[in-house]
Amino acid sequence: MLHASPNTFGHSFKVTTFGESHGRAGGAVLDGVKPGLPFDLKAIQLELDRRRPGQSDMASKREERDKVQVLSGIFEGRTTGSPIALIVFNEDQRPGDYQAIKDIFRPGHADMTYSRKYGLRDHLGGGRASGRETLARVAAGAWAKQQLAPLGVAIRSFNREIGGVRCEALDWGFVEKNPLKSCDPNAFPAQREAVEAAMANKDSVGAISEIHISGLPIGLGDPVFSKLDAMLAYACMSIGGVKGVEFGSGFQAARMRGSQHNDPILPSGFSSNNSGGVLGGISNGDVFIVRLAIKPTSSIGAAQKTIDADGVATEIEISGRHDPCIAPRLLPVAEAMCAIAIYDAWLAQQDLAPQSIPSVEDYDWDSIVRVLFNNQLGDKP
Ligand SMILES: Cc1cc2nc3c(=O)[nH]c(=O)nc-3n(C[C@H](O)[C@H](O)[C@H](O)COP(=O)(O)O)c2cc1C
């Protein structure tokens, strides 16, 4: 049986994305939105600007301006309760760039699997499997962030490791000041070298991204199949290029003893955070920590073995505009998917036990702007 909604995420708050890489437009439809909430289009645009390519010499030079527009669901600056449709028209379509690979499957991309599964393939920039689809997620996530900010929830991210070079320090102030979104000024030069060395060899590098979600109350997440960590893993694994998800101590937990891993509970809270902010699939009030393994960019200039649509062996060298590491641009997408999943869990908890959790209608407009702005600067909210 066909999955009911492969293009929709969420239960109480539902986000549907539409659009292909080189289609006329992409966007998101947000349903489950309460009426009467203020709507800030500028905050959504700010998030989209963070995802946009061409922002540094270590990113692709595509000129996509990604101006978001609202089609429905807003009246005189407030939500009406009907679906909000957000749309971004494509302004930098270059179908000619992809002519040479029309009938050749690019290694590391979804070309072969889409083609074999559906019997046809939109070969322009990866079609639906393109990173461009994620702008819809970022727009929807920006709305979810706007709902969470006045409740004290802040979602921030950085790259913990790039090209095999790990950040030991976590300097929030440094994150938005460097093109790789590294969190350690001491590790950054070696990380940049790793990226530049890969570029010089027509190659790419991977990374480990980390997302911190602070201000969560105890109680979000619905065991057993909608556990908070399960929903966040689902949300993050749906992003192209993500090969692994871990929470708190993650895979390191396998090498620890119970006495080391258990987070002691004090009257003031937990004294360590190996759990990553979740116990039994329910938020425990500590900072929620998600780490993602990001694979090296598939589109590389180096020669690679592949096959054409008829299964005949060939070689491919991919030209065009591609980031040597997608992790910096993936961060706003990961934050967005976390925001959507958390907001969804928040609404579910309000239905289950309204008294246990602040209401999303309790707005403090000043704090929304403050938290969003601080996020932008990478400061601690
Ligand atoms: C924001 C974003 C931008 C991306 N940009 C590129 C890119 O420029 N080149 C590339 O090869 N892959 C890029 N990707 C990754 C591909 O979309 C992804 O690797 C591909 O669809 C295959 O999916 P999979 O890696 O999940 O198996 C990007 C992903 C995201 C989230």
Out of 35-39, 95-99, 285-289, which region has the weakest mean confidence (pLDDT)? 95-99
Whose alpha carbon is nearest atom 29 of ligand 1? 131
Pocket test for ligand 1, best of 22, 297, 300, 330 (most atoms within 8 A of CB): 297
* CA of residue 115 to ligand 1 center, whole Å: 17
More confident residue, 65 or 254: 254
What integer pLDDT is reported at residue 63 of this predicted model? 56
Express each pLDDT in 118-152 by its tens digit: 998 888 888 899 999 999 999 999 999 999 999 99
Nearest atom (ligand 1) to Cα of 298: 11
- Decide: 133 and 19 in contact? Cβ < 8 Å: yes
Express each pLDDT in 154-192 by its tens digit: 999 999 999 999 999 999 999 999 999 999 999 999 999
Contacts of 51 (CB under 8 A, 6+ apart): 66, 134, 135, 138, 329, 332, 333
Half-sphere exposure of 87 (CA within 13 A, CB side): 12
Joined together, the tokens standing for residue 338 give 């976390």
CA distance 110 to 123: 10
Kindly provide the b/e burial profile for residues 268-293, where b requires at least 16 CB atoms within 10 angstroms of the residue's own CB: eebeebbbbbbbebbbbbbebbbbbb
The answer, yes or no, to whether residue 367 has pLDDT greater than 50, is no
Which of 58, 299, 287 has the alpha carbon at shortest distance from 182?
Answer: 58
* CA of residue 130 to ligand 1 center, whole Å: 6
User: Which band of pLDDT confidence, cut at 50, 70 and 90, is reported for residue 372?
Assistant: very low
* CA of residue 55 to ligand 1 center, whole Å: 17
What integer pLDDT is reported at residue 150 of this predicted model? 92
Q: State mean pLDDT over 9-28.
A: 95
Average pLDDT, the chain: 90
Nearest atom (ligand 1) to Cα of 204: 11
Nearest atom (ligand 1) to Cα of 242: 26
E strand or H helix at 354, and its extent?
none
- Sign of the Cα pseudo-torsion (36, 42, 46, 51, in order): positive
Contacts of 50 (CB under 8 A, 6+ apart): 138, 331, 332, 376
> Three-class SS of residue 325?
coil
CA distance 320 to 93: 13
Ligand 1 shell residues, CB under 6 Å: 60, 109-110, 126, 129-131, 134, 239-241, 295, 297-299, 322-323, 326, 329-330, 333
User: Which band of pLDDT confidence, cut at 50, 70 and 90, is reported for residue 371?
Assistant: very low
Q: State mean pLDDT over 23-51.
A: 94
